[in-house]
Amino acid sequence: MRTRQKVRTVSEYFRERAYCDFCKEEIKSEYGYCENEVEIQGKFGDVFPEGDHRETLYLDCCPDCFTRKVKPALEALGATWHRETDRSYSNTTSTPKPLGPELPDAMWVSDFPTGNES
């Protein structure tokens, strides 16, 4: 036997939003393919083969507050910045061009001496 019954449903979903801990504004993508992302976190504790047992401390920060507040504060404490660029579009294994004296390039794994150089 087949029956037909009209059923009214209510769908629920969760939408996760992040708000900057400094300016309290929602952190949104700017546009299209531009995706600025700020990660400020520290992980403390033990890591075993069975799992990660570290406590994570983090801040949610928009790119504007990072540039205007966090970066200058860390520089005032003596922080030195390292810049890394996406090399996925590169078909060469050479080191990227220097990005300026204030932000030196990160060393890539292929750039480290292996001890087998002649």
What's the start-to-end Cα distance of the chain, in Å? 83
Q: Is the model's pTM score more than 0.75?
A: no
Higher pLDDT, 112 or 2: 2
Looking up tokens 């390039």, which residue turns up? 105
Q: Mean pLDDT across the chain, nearest whole number?
A: 77
* 47 pLDDT above the threshold of 60: yes
